[in-house]
Chain A
Amino acid sequence: MILDQVSVFVENKPGALADVTARLAEASVDFKAFTVADTAEFGVLRFIADAPKKALALLKLGGWVASLTPVVAVKMSNEPGSLARILKVLSDQGIQVEYTYAFVAQEKGRAYVVFRVADPAGAATLLEASGFETLKSITD
């Protein structure tokens, strides 16, 4: 299964990231994981939240440029070698990972890793066939 990640353009100036997160906090959007890609000139905030469509609508209403990006989130055990095993499945099939980030699950000893790939549905099917569990929503 695949998840919707919210991506937001963040200007490279003090307070820009604070503004976005404050807006989301007001609407009680709950971040599960996030990452900021930064360049010398701008940043892209990417996050997984409980209600991505609502978050997107809020941001657009507030004048931000934002979009939904389908990503694969894979459950893994919180132990050495887990990530390597997942990546091997992807690399064996020649799947290129554009970016990735991880978060620790509520469930003890578990973590999730998020992948951005060209064909997320295909990657999810592949991983499931290899015995991995993918998330269909963040409330899993």
Chain B
Amino acid sequence: MPTDPRPNDETVTLANQIPLPMDHDTDEHIIARVVAGDRAAFRHLFDRHYGRSLSVAQGIVLHRSEAEDVVQEAMTKAFKNLTKFDRRASFGTWLYRIVVNTAIQATRRTRHDRQAVTLEAVSDRLTDPQGIPQLADPEIERAMRQMEPEDRAIIVMFYWEDLSLNEIAGAMECTPNAAKTRLFRARERFRQFYQGGDQ
């Protein structure tokens, strides 16, 4: 008995009610849904870019929980400014720019706060649990801590996240040639700190 290939009304109704699997959607599709008012769709963008964003943020601020706060703050900024996303670059590049800027600001804020503490507070901090290593290799962490956050950002994006110079240029708001120059200098400084120990 031949079956009618056309879905009946009930099937069509159910298909309309069940959301499409978002994993197959591109960032642009999800962004369009979010901009159209589907706030929950942003969760898919968040999940998709959380890991790399956290990695970049942790490489800059060198603290896990602080990096988590940075990513949440950056994601909130991205969500609230999603209508301003001009699609000239990919959403990931645009998001990394926000993450990098937010992480650098957080690092400077933390540094400023630490400069204001007293000697007693510094002494307490030396025994604080926050002194636990944040990276797997203490030598790498020591070298990274001696670098400027902008240099850490470009090293992390290039060697941890394998971003191209074009993508790094988009995230750092510079030209690819400038990104290449910055990478070269940052790498040399890292090597100096890595080989030279504490300066």
Say whether A and B bind each other.
no
Q: Which residues of B contact A (CB under 8 A)?
A: none
Q: Which residues of A contact B (CB under 8 A)?
A: none
